């Protein structure tokens, strides 16, 4: 059975998350249902990461096994046809080795969190960013973020329901980009690591927002990290600003020779 890698984009608002659920709409379930339209029967796909309810993706990667030898372009086009009207799109498709795995072969995950500071509510971009109605100090937030880089025990920034075997992770990047807007200022948090704990990125951003607002000092982030105590974490921010932006592999399956 040939195996195919899928590059997936989705708007997370209508979904209960990536993972298939019995009675709720999920991204995995939507794609598996589309696959069943192409090849009748049960399908199980695997992804690089399981995003939570309301979280988006611009670079999720999954793989599936099919009976037929599909041309990758035709497969992506057929899936996109059957995925309508769900807000899921197959951006690219590639044939991979039979033992290639979207999750276990990944060496890096990249997340983006979008936060906007403005008084007026969001309209056309509602559900795509977290809005706060007060000014933020980007330099202070970056100073706080720098304390999180490297190898640490991230228990403070780990959900109580996290299933990871260890809270020890290496954070390779947490960079804050300031994007001026016609109204307000957008702050983009670029976060990169081999793997993440449950709610880790949202815990980071919620804590750093408190630094930007002046309620915390940058060094308070270091103290919270050292506490290794979930109670020391700042607020966990809402999911709508979070995007799985990309997944890294030793050899990118979507790069053509």
Label residue 225 by pLDDT band (50, 70, 90).
very high
Is 127 in the same domain as 204?
yes
Mean pLDDT, all residues of the chain: 96
Is 96 in the same domain as 115?
no
Is 66 in the same domain as 175?
no
172 carries an active-site annotation? no
> Residue 67's domain spans which residues?
3-105
Choose, from 52, 137, 153, 220, the residue flagged as catalytic: 52
C-alpha torsion sign, points 235, 240, 241, 242: positive
pLDDT of amino acid 1? 85
Number of domains in the chain: 2
Label residue 222 by pLDDT band (50, 70, 90).
very high
In a domain, 153, yes or no: yes
In a domain, 184, yes or no: yes
In a domain, 255, yes or no: no
Is 239 in the same domain as 131?
yes
CATH number at residue 25: 3.30.70.580
Minimal CA–CA distance to 122: which of 175, 178, 204, 181? Answer: 181
pLDDT over 70 at 257, yes or no: no
List Cβ neighbours of 53 (8 Å cut-off, separation of 6 or more): 12, 15, 16, 17, 239
pLDDT of amino acid 160? 87
pLDDT over 90 at 205, yes or no: yes
pLDDT of amino acid 256? 76
Tens of pLDDT, residue by residue over 50-102, are 999 999 999 999 999 999 999 999 999 999 999 999 999 999 999 999 999 99
Instruction: From 64, 87, 105, give the residue that closes a domain.
Output: 105
């Amino acid at each position: 059975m040939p195996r195919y890698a899928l590059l997936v984009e989705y708007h997370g608002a209508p979904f209960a998350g990536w993972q298939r659920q019995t009675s709720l709409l999920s991204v995995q379930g939507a794609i598996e249902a589309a696959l069943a339209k192409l090849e009748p029967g049960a399908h199980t796909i695997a992804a690089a990461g399981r995003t939570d309810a309301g979280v988006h993706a611009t670079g999720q990667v999954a793989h599936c096994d099919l009976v037929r030898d599909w041309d990758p372009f035709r497969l992506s086009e057929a899936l996109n046809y059957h995925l309508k009207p769900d807000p899921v799109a197959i951006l690219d498709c590639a044939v991979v080795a039979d033992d290639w795995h979207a999750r276990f072969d990944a060496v890096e995950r990249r997340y983006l969190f979008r936060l906007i500071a403005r008084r007026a509510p969001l309209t056309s971009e509602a559900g795509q960013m977290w809005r706060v109605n007060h000014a933020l100090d980007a330099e202070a937030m970056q100073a706080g973020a720098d304390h999180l880089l490297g190898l640490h025990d991230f228990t403070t920034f780990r959900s109580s329901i996290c299933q990871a075997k260890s809270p020890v992770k290496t954070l390779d990047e947490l960079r804050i980009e300031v994007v001026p807007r016609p109204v307000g200022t957008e702050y983009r948090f670029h976060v990169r690591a081999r793997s993440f704990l449950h709610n880790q990125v949202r815990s980071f951003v919620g804590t750093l927002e408190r630094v930007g607002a002046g309620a915390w000092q940058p060094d308070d982030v270091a103290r919270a990290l050292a506490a290794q105590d979930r109670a020391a974490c700042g607020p966990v921010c809402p999911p709508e600003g979070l995007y799985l932006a990309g997944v890294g592999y030793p050899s990118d399956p979507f790069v053509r020779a």
